[in-house]
Amino acid sequence: MSNASENGRSSARHSTTGPRTDLLSSNPTDRVEAASIFQGDVDTDNTVVVCGAGGFIGGHLVADLLRQGFSEVRAVDIKPPNQWFQKFPQADNRSLDLREKENCYRALENADHVYNLAADMGGMGFIENNKALCMLSVTINTHLLMAARDNDVDRYFYSSSACVYNQELQDTADVEPLSEEDAYPALAEDGYGWEKLFSERMCRHFREDFDVTTRVARYHNVYGPFGTYDGGREKAPAALTRKAIEAKLSGSGDIVIWGNGTQTRSFMYVDDCVKGTQKIMHSDITEPINLGSDDLVTINQLVDVIEEAVEVDLDREYDLTKPQGVDGRNSDNTKILEELGWEPPTALRDGMEVTAKWIEQQMRTHREEETTSRFAVPH
């Protein structure tokens, strides 16, 4: 596994302390009573709405808002609460289909701040085969922006994606880091990427035409505990970790990797995503900005890290018929460093160690109890 310094950059910017373990308790009350990840100056009298709260990142964000002591945190998701990745009794939990306009107005009534993380999405296997479903998420952001305008919402955050970037700039594994300007001329990833790019423009024009204060972050490959690792929507770190643990538990020692393993990506630990999201929300940054690690690794190097975390040696088989996305993608963090003096610090090795332990614990529990993971439930 090549670390950041071997990839030509200093590793000094990456955290040496590792992810916090006090946020991993199986008891949601314990997770809420921990110190918050984001330490900014906030008005806790505000009503904060998290759309997509039943999802991976949304659940972590709700937890951190509750840690900060907001008087009302409204958590909204299309799934029934018993299918949410994390659910907190301290929040106002609502099951609403935000593709419907009237539900967006209900969700944002008396809201001060809105985080829109809601989308029909998943890993490469899902977005390659469900382009129309991904595009239909445009109705969520459109209706939420209308509701934000009409309800005089103070600030509105939209979670975009690195999938907005021009695909012609990602046709080599030795990719140049993608800067914010590289989204244009537009040639986004079909389906999911185009929806994200269009929704970014909607945020811009609602800001320009209707004075809605909007903030947009382009997420780069978020991973961590309390996320999906099976069921067809999981992303590469979770999917490969699940496969490694299955090989370990079964004794097979085999793993199937989509593509030839030379594709490159950067991966951001979820705590860094939660912190960066709130930093951007409370900043003066009006244009879309990268939020991701700039530590570029191959998929083979990711598997190296997972093998170490799971404590297993794997025989690798490569399936070239499966979706594998662009050849290379990395985040240029120049702008976020200039604007915030910060970038996601968690080293991949540290984040994957925590993530792998959590997934293995989940898998062993379901194996022993002969139950099915709740994360496999369609959502």
Provide the token pair at 136.
């239909």
Coil, strand, or helix at residue 230?
Answer: coil
What φ, ψ does residue 291 adopt, rounded to 5°? -135, 100
Active site residue 192: yes
Let me know how many helices (H) and strands (E) the chain has, helices first.
12, 13
Residue 17 CB contacts under 8 Å (≥ 6 apart), including other chains: none
Catalytic residue among 115, 165, 192, 223: 192
Q: Residue 145 in contact with residue 206, Cβ under 8 Å?
A: yes
Name residue, tokens 């993530």: 355
Instruction: Tell me if 216 sits within 8 A of 162, measured CB to CB.
Output: no
Tell how strand 264-265 and strand 297-298 pair up: antiparallel
* Element holding 129 (H helix, E strand): helix 124-129
| Catalytic residue set | 192
